[in-house]
């Protein structure tokens, strides 16, 4: 018996068929199923730098980059060598290792608001644990989140993200707040979650344990915080004694050396990380001031644990990735992404499409509409059908975007001016075919 890939079965169609028989929807994370854009997902066989190849040998210039887990480009030799070397010494021990210390030291060095950090295995775990810690620290229960912000799939954070203003009122008038965003989440799990509109500072009261926010919203397209939003949250949390939690799972070590908090000059009490710090392996982390972090077990009463937390391969990949990201990298990445977004906007407009290409640092968003959205209600006005058509036209041109209109693009170190130029050219062709089609 062999469990190796079966050469004979290697078409996307055939693999997707087999996948659907044994994996719900054929995928291990829903957006990968192409549900919102239609069609058959490409099954990746290998990747290098800015490129991925599917099992049929089709090559794509890739802007998905594992939804931001990859910043140095696929299979970067430094990362691959670090993982290979680590694997030769064992893949998990259940005892502490030196690399965990090194990675924690490096994160705390880059992010001054973190005296201490704890590693977990995903962004979901990071936000879930940060919320538990914030509740443990404050002795309060309410969590405030923003409509359209995604913090992974922990029950308490999967609250309805649609009814903003009403939710602010609910907070003030003592009403029940969130509604589950998924079947299987009991109303009680989100009864202590208040959902409010992004880019407005909510008025809090003493029941609030923490406000959790994506400092740059990157799960409803790309929406930057308006002037005064993050600093306003900081002031409002301080006024009421609530903790401010930045979910930097996407922005951490990506928008700036010290993440979004450095970029905007606002310090949270707790930060959540993931993606970049795992270099494509399974990593999350959360960190903050020592007086808060020391409430975690084994020092304190807030329980949190993980068999694979601080895994040797993941910490090796993370350290190798951070070694490639010195301070000089960020202005360069930002400059390239800015020029790319301008040119992308230009070719789309030339083709008669109305889009708004936003950037924050090296993050790039593509909104099918004529203005920059500021919150989820705005974001949802994007033309989803136009995105789906453009997505497929881009695949036809050999460029892989994320298969969903609320995802963003992740150009990284491998996306040289040449690569980005080729993507712009492809976008020009794709945009014309969308318009004509
Ligand atoms: N927070 C943010 C801002 C995210 O974008 C994501 C995932 N895209 C998560 C948390 C959850 O991370 P994970 O998928 O690793 O659980």
Q: Which domains does the chain have, with CATH numbers?
A: 12-63+328-436 (3.90.1150.10), 77-323 (3.40.640.10)
Q: Is 93 a known active-site residue?
A: no
Looking at residue 129, its pLDDT comes to: 98
Mean pLDDT, residues 308-329 taken together = 98
pLDDT at 389 over 80: yes
The closest-lying atom of ligand 1 relative to the alpha carbon of residue 152 is 11
Across all residues in the chain, what is the average pLDDT?
Answer: 93
pLDDT at 186 over 80: yes
pLDDT at 6 over 70: no
Rounded-to-integer distance, Cα 334 and Cα 205, Å? 38
Label residues 237-246 b or e (16+ Cβ within 10 Å = b). Answer: beebebbbbb
* Cβ proximity of 147 and 376 under 8 Å: yes
For the Cβ of 406 lying below 6 angstroms from any atom of ligand 1, the answer is: no
**What burial class does residue 432 get, using C-beta atoms within 10 Å of its C-beta: 0-12 exposed, 13-18 middle, 19+ buried?**
middle
Report the candidate in 232, 233, 228, 193 with the shortest Cα–Cα distance to residue 213.
233
Q: Is 275 a known active-site residue?
A: yes
CA 349 to ligand 1 centroid distance, Å: 32
Q: Is 264 a known active-site residue?
A: no
For the Cβ of 260 lying below 6 angstroms from any atom of ligand 1, the answer is: no
CA 245 to ligand 1 centroid distance, Å: 14
For the Cβ of 219 lying below 6 angstroms from any atom of ligand 1, the answer is: yes
Residues facing residue 144 across a β-bridge: 194, 211
Looking at residue 159, its pLDDT comes to: 77
Looking at residue 163, its pLDDT comes to: 27
pLDDT, one tens digit per residue, over 195-244 is 999 999 999 999 999 999 999 999 999 999 999 999 999 999 999 999 99
Looking at residue 158, its pLDDT comes to: 83
Among 13-22, 61-70, 152-161, the minimum mean pLDDT is found in 152-161
Supply the DSSP string of 347-377, one letter for each residue: HHHHTT---EEEEETTEEEEESSSS---SHH
Mean pLDDT, residues 28-54 taken together = 96
For the Cβ of 286 lying below 6 angstroms from any atom of ligand 1, the answer is: no
Of 54, 62, 247, 375, which residue is the catalytic one?
247
Strand bridging mode 356-360 / 51-54: unpaired
pLDDT, one tens digit per residue, over 371-387 is 899 999 999 999 999 99
Report the candidate in 136, 120, 92 with the shortest Cα–Cα distance to residue 273.
120
């Amino acid at each position: 018996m062999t469990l190796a890939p079966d050469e004979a079965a290697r078409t996307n169609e055939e693999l997707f068929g087999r996948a659907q028989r044994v994996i719900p929807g054929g995928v291990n994370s829903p957006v990968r199923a192409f549900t919102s854009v239609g069609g058959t997902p490409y099954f990746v066989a290998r990747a290098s730098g800015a490129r991925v190849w599917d099992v049929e040998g089709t090559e794509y210039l890739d802007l998905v980059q594992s939804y931001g887990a990859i910043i140095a480009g696929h299979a970067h030799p430094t990362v691959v060598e670090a993982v290979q070397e680590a694997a030769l010494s064992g893949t998990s021990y259940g005892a502490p290792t030196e690399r965990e210390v090194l990675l924690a030291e490096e994160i705390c060095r880059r992010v001054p608001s973190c005296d201490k950090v704890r590693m977990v295995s995903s962004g979901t775990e990071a936000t879930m644990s940060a919320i538990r810690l914030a509740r443990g620290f404050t002795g309060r229960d309410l969590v405030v989140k923003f409509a359209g912000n995604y913090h992974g799939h922990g029950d308490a954070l999967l609250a309805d993200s649609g009814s903003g203003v009403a939710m602010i009122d609910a907070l003030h008038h003592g009403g029940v707040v969130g509604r589950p965003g998924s079947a299987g989440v009991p109303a009680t799990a989100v009864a202590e979650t208040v959902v409010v509109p992004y880019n407005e500072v909510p008025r809090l009261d003493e029941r609030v344990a923490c406000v959790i926010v994506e400092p740059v919203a990157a799960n409803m397209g790309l929406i930057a915080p308006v002037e005064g939003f993050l600093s306003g949250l900081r002031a409002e949390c301080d006024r009421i004694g609530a903790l401010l939690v930045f979910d930097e799972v996407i922005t951490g070590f990506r928008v700036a050396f010290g993440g979004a908090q450095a970029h905007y000059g606002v310090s949270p009490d707790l930060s959540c990380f993931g993606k970049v710090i795992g270099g494509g392996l399974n990593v999350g982390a959360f960190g903050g001031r020592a007086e808060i972090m020391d409430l975690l077990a084994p020092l304190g009463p807030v329980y949190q644990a993980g068999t694979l937390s601080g895994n040797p391969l993941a910490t090796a990949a993370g350290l190798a990735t951070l070694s490639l990201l010195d301070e000089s990298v960020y202005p360069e990445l930002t400059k390239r992404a800015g020029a790319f977004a301008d040119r992308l906007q230009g070719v789309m407009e030339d083709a008669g499409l109305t889009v708004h290409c936003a950037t924050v640092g090296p993050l790039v968003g593509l909104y099918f509409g004529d203005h920059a959205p500021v919150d989820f209600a705005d974001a949802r006005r994007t033309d989803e059908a136009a995105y789906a058509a453009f997505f497929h036209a881009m695949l036809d041109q050999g460029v892989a975007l994320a298969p969903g209109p609320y995802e963003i693009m992740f150009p990284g170190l491998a996306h040289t001016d040449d690569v980005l130029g080729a993507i712009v050219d492809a976008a020009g062709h794709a945009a014309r075919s969308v318009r004509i089609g």
